[in-house]
Amino acid sequence: MKDARLYLLHIAEGIARIERYAAVGGGRLDRDGMAYDAILRNLQTVSEATQRLPDEIKARHPAIPWERIAGFRNILVHGYLGGIDPSVVEPVRWWRT
C-alpha cells in the first residue's frame, strides 16, 4: 500500500485541477467538452484515492461524505456507456458538502 500522504496529494491536486477546469466554462460543464472530460477524469482520480485512504484517516474526518464519494466513483466508472449527465456533476464541490 502506498503512503497515505501520496493519496492525499492526489486528492488535493485533483481538486485544484477540477476547480481550474470548471472555471473554463463559467461553472457550466456543458459549455466545454474537453474541460468536462478532464473534470470527470479528475473526479475519478480523487474518488479512487479516497477509497485507498486508511480508515483511521477517514474516521478523523467524519464530515467528509466518504460513502457518497465512493458511490460517485461507481457512477463515473460504470455509467460512462450511458453517458454521465452533467447535472449530476454540476455541483462540482460535492467533496466539500
- What residues are labeled active site? 73, 78
The conformational region for residue 24 under phi > 0 = left, psi -120 to 50 = alpha, else beta, is alpha
Cα separation, 4 vs 6, in Å, equals 5
- The C-alpha atoms of residue 65 and residue 46 are separated, in whole angstroms, by 13
